[in-house]
Amino acid sequence: MTAWAHGAVRRWAVVGALVGVLVGLPAVVAALPAEDADVPAARLRDAALASGSVGHSGYAVSAGGLSLPVTDRLTRVADLLSDRTTMRVWWRGPDEHRVDVVTAAGETGVHRDPGGTWTWDFETLTAARGEPASLALPAPPDLLPAPLGRRLLSEAADEELTRIGARRVAGRDALGLRLEPAEEAASVDRVDVWVDRATGLPLQVQVVAEGARTPALDTRFLDLDLAVPAASVVAFTPPPEAFVGAAPDTADLVAEAGRRAGRLPLPLELAGLGRRPLEGVPAAVWAYGRGVTLLAVASVPPRLAGGLRAAMRSSPEAVTDDLGVRLSAGPLGLMVVDVPRGGAYVLTGTVTLDALAAAAAALPGAAP
């Protein structure tokens, strides 16, 4: 072997060692002891809810374990909630931030401003403009630990919260907060949120379904800088060579049903959950529950429910009876209820299969 070859081997050995150190560094940092603090659970929740204005940037990763039925409407959502998603975030505030989703094929950036969002595909040079929607399919920015943690804690009652110690997340001391929903219909066993001791920023969120040992969703920061990013990094203007268009309609099956289906008077309570109004949601979509225990119901035409029903029935874990077909994916329940005179109901939410059946039996015209 020549001297040059020996040098090349040594150089690549050094590169390999550095890569090994970088890959192992998060685990090493996480293993360092975290300093706990005597902060009551309710006060820690309040600190997390007030952290929306905390500027930061960094890397985050989300790992989902939900096996959703795949249809032409749910493919992206199924991938998002069942795969590993790596994200870079620059956060100036709830209405001014940027999230880049990093994949083997490239990056897709979502730039939020007060008027809406720009979605920029680096590979295809395509920019799409969208407006904020009250009811839309989940997107990668929704799985960032900070906004997700705030959303899940937003209606948590004091008696549902307990402290669970501390750990190191992204090299910072994070105080543990556990939410155990009180509703009997809940399919979520617990939500663990690890909150930055200094700022209240949620750094890690784990959602565990009833009876499960591993989280159905685990999202966390790997690296975090608490400096406010520059406005120029977050802002977006389509470059001259970009193809610019409107963002595709991301409304899910329930939202489309709400625009096209008739308005039926549904019960004020289903499966022990009271109805709740949601601003901006179509009138034909009814929502029930509180906190992390939610149920959405809509009456839909047969064509809209057909693809979803077929995809659900292909799962060996689907339950089919006189009411329709229902399926659970971790804490998420989904049901299509047939109506004898035509049409169907779609029910979805973080409730058990028994709760879905009880709700379906109470729907007008749905009981056998």
3-state secondary structure of 238: coil
CA-to-CA distance for 142 and 146, rounded, in angstroms? 9
The residue among 367 and 213 whose pLDDT is bigger is 213
Residues whose CB is less than 8 angstroms from the CB of residue 192 and which lie 6 or more positions away in sequence, other chains included: 164, 176, 177, 178, 179, 204, 205, 206, 208
Same domain, 225 and 257: no
Same domain, 174 and 317: no
Confidence of residue 257 (pLDDT cuts 50, 70, 90): low
**Domain around 354:** 253-361
Same domain, 214 and 275: no
CB 224 within 8 A of CB 271: no
- 121 domain-assigned: no
pTM above 0.85, yes or no: no
Q: How far apart are the first and last CA of the chain?
A: 81
45-49, 95-99, 195-199, 282-286: which range is least confident on average? Answer: 282-286
54-63, 147-156, 198-207, 330-339: which range is least confident on average? Answer: 330-339
Same domain, 224 and 309: no
CB 246 within 8 A of CB 255: no
CATH of the domain at 214: 2.50.20
- 136 domain-assigned: yes
Same domain, 221 and 258: no
Angle at which helices 145-153 and 41-49 cross, to 10°: 120
Residue 261 has pLDDT above 50, yes or no: no
Number of separate helices (H) and strands (E) present in the chain: 8, 20
| Number of domain units in the chain | 2
Residue 330 has pLDDT above 50, yes or no: yes
- The mean pLDDT value for 68-91 works out to 64
Single residue among 229, 263, 283 that ends a domain in this structure: 229
Same domain, 51 and 151: yes
Same domain, 184 and 297: no
- The mean pLDDT value for 109-127 works out to 90
Sheet holding 217-225, edge to edge: 161-169, 172-179, 188-196, 202-209, 217-225, 56-64, 84-93, 96-103, 106-113, 116-121, 126-130, 243-246
- 297 domain-assigned: yes
Residue 24 has pLDDT above 80, yes or no: no
Same domain, 223 and 259: no
Residues whose CB is less than 8 angstroms from the CB of residue 262 and which lie 6 or more positions away in sequence, other chains included: 284, 299
Q: What is the pLDDT of residues 134-156, one digit of tens each?
A: 555 556 678 899 999 999 999 99
CA-to-CA distance for 20 and 197, rounded, in angstroms? 30
- The mean pLDDT value for 232-248 works out to 85
- 8 domain-assigned: no
Same domain, 211 and 350: no
Q: What is the pLDDT of residue 331?
A: 85
Same domain, 281 and 207: no
Same domain, 268 and 201: no
Residue 156 burial (10 A CB sphere; 0-12, 13-18, 19+): buried
Confidence of residue 175 (pLDDT cuts 50, 70, 90): very high
Residue 312 has pLDDT above 90, yes or no: no
Q: What is the pLDDT of residues 68-79, one digit of tens each?
A: 554 444 445 445
- 214 domain-assigned: yes
Same domain, 160 and 307: no
Single residue among 178, 194, 229 that ends a domain in this structure: 229
- The mean pLDDT value for 43-70 works out to 85
CATH of the domain at 353: 3.30.200
Residue 22 has pLDDT above 50, yes or no: no
Residue 115 burial (10 A CB sphere; 0-12, 13-18, 19+): exposed
119-128, 214-223, 332-341: which range is least confident on average? Answer: 332-341
